[in-house]
Structure 1
């Protein structure tokens, strides 16, 4: 199974994914951004501004997950923001064609909470990405309508990543 954690940048997907992988039996975190990093290294002269724009990224994410699950079994927890409905349909369709069930969750908080979290993130890489994350809040807001229709929205305001992970684990076991 794939447990896909979406939401806006800075919502706590990666931290929640680590927490969730600790409590779900046989779960592993699959950081699909690493597939993007691989492609960016190979195709550095063809950078489209976001690795998700490369169709091969979407295909490689599906194929990598398929092969890892065939090898290990269990669950892959994927913390990745996808704001293009067409891209999500392609990814989800690839998993469906491979016979891999997907549970899509969107980690959501109101804009004020998100801005405070982004501003308060002291991890060097995350703090450096703060302005970039803030610049994408509008794109997330525009995508929220289709995300709400296609995923289970988890309100993370007032919850720790461990609390969010526990809520998702309960939903999965229900």
Structure 2
């Protein structure tokens, strides 16, 4: 199974994924951004705003996850914002074709809290403006995200409680 944590930057995906990996049996984190980093040197001649815009990124995320699960089994927790509906459709169709169930969660936080979290983050300080610039894209994606994912409001919940809510939803 894949537990995909979606939502905008600052909603708590990374921290929640670390918590989930400790409470869901046989869970491991799959950072799909690493696939994008791998492709950068190969596809640098194809300029994009985001590596998700490269079709090979989407196909390789599906293939890599499929290979990992086929090799070690268990659960992959993927903390990755996907804010373009077509890209999510391609990813989820690829997982379905591979026979991999996906539980798609959106970690949602109100905009004031998101802005406060991003501006006070001491870990990803170099990406602060980039993260703030993506708040509008997230708001635009919310209608389709609400149709394709289970939304968890993280505004007043610490990551461990968010992780436990997700674990309760996915575990028998």
| TM-score using structure 1 length | 0.96
Shift of 1:42: 2.0
Shift of 1:83: 0.6
Count of residue pairs brought into register by the alignment:
172
Determine helix, strand or coil for the equivalent of 1:146: helix
> Which residue pairs with 2:78 in the alignment?
78
Shift of 1:41: 2.2
Shift of 1:67: 0.3
C-alpha separation between the residues in 2 aligned to 1:55 and 1:110? 31
1:90-169 equivalent positions in 2, closer than 5 A: 90-123=90-123, 126-169=124-167
RMSD: 0.9
Shift of 1:47: 3.0
Shift of 1:46: 2.2
CA contact (8 A) 1:40 1:47 kept: no
C-alpha separation between the residues in 1 aligned to 2:145 and 2:51? 20
Structure 2: gaps of 5 or more residues? none
C-alpha separation between the residues in 1 aligned to 2:86 and 2:44? 24
> Which residue pairs with 2:7 in the alignment?
7
1:5-44 equivalent positions in 2, closer than 5 A: 5-44=5-44
| TM-score using structure 2 length | 0.97
Structure 1: gaps of 5 or more residues? none
What whole-Å deviation, never above 9, does each CA across 1:43-80 have from its counterpart, x for those lacking one?
22323121000000000000000000000000000000
